[in-house]
Amino acid sequence: MMRSAMVLTVLLAKSAAGCASGENSYTHIEQGQCAETCLGDKLGICPISIVISTGNLTEGTCAAAGYNKDTSTTKDVKAGPCGTIHFEVYDKSPAVKSAVGCASGENSYTHIEQGQCAETCLGDKLGICPISIVVSTGNLTEGTCAAAGYNKDTSTTKDVKAGPCGTIHFEVYDKSPSVKSAVGCASGEDSYTHIEQGQCAETCLGDKLGICPISIVISTGNLTAGTCSAAGYNKDTSTTKDVKAGPCGTIHFEVYNKTA
């Protein structure tokens, strides 16, 4: 009876504290899921510091990162000569995400390209990299896709490798046609056109395209501030074209004809 009571006490202690005494929780977030494990000061022959940096682990729990839906699945990851890490896998609860946007300590960042907006949640670091480096290198903008006028959820995601920093998991949004017609361009953006071969190409740009000030983009790309409709091209062809703007990035145009 005493042995049973001791076992129950140990199990309760682990459940309450997350990990056994002398261990801490570590997470790895990838492809929209959070993997959580408990580790002590070593894994096999390896100090925990090496395991954390090599495995791109973050101290903390999946629940604290906003992933509180237990998938009831596990995965074992080989950690070279150190041994094997056993993870429990969690998803984000849709209700939690819609209520708070991002988990506590995280902010929304977007990347707009080819007529779509990719949105992610990031904290003050991605792996070993400060968020400032990730934002500048990845050409990210703080804010949400909805605030930029992209509020149509495509129900698709994409994972982008961020070099040694790790992987950024994005959710992808389109512009809702009704929203676009009402507002023209997202807040902080203006319409620009390029007329060529009897057609007018229109785009929305902010004060920069990638690393380039908008003034350089306008002069190099021979763009004019305004809309195709104002220039007499109000027949939507329902076609688009993407034009490479050197090191600045890609400009996504919608194409219009003149009404006969």
Same domain, 23 and 87: yes
Paired sense of beta strands 235-244 and 250-257, if any: antiparallel
Does 5 map to a domain? no
Q: Does residue 148 sit in the same domain as residue 216?
A: no
pLDDT at 2: 36
Backbone angles phi and psi of 200, in degrees to 5: -120, 125
* Residue 155 banded pLDDT, cuts 50, 70, 90: confident
Torsion of CA 93, 26, 76, 4, to 10 degrees: -90
The DSSP bridge pattern shows strands 250-257 and 199-205 to be antiparallel
Query: In this structure, is residue 8 part of a structural domain?
Result: no
Count of positions (residues) in the chain: 260
User: Does the pLDDT of residue 138 top 60, yes or no?
Assistant: yes
Share of the chain above pLDDT 90, in %: 26
CA dist., res. 33 & res. 91, Å (int)? 5
What integer pLDDT is reported at residue 33 of this predicted model? 84
Q: Which of 63, 92, 121 is the last residue of a domain?
A: 92
**Cβ atoms 192, 203 nearer than 8 A:** yes
| pLDDT interval class at 99 (50, 70, 90) | very low
Number of domains in the chain: 3
What does the pLDDT look like over 17-68, one tens digit per residue?
A: 479 999 999 999 887 788 999 999 999 999 999 999 888 898 888 887 778 8
Give the pLDDT score at 17.
44
Q: In this structure, is residue 2 part of a structural domain?
A: no
Distance CA 97, CA 78 (A): 31
β-pair partners for 84: 78
Q: Quick check: is 203 in a domain?
A: yes
Look up the domain containing 29 and give its range.
14-92
Do 157 and 113 share a domain, yes or no?
A: yes
pLDDT digits (tens, 9 = 90+) for 201-234: 999 988 888 888 998 899 988 999 888 888 888 8
Residues 23 and 71 reside in one and the same domain: yes
Inside any domain, residue 44 = yes
214 φ, ψ (degrees, to nearest 5):
-60, -30
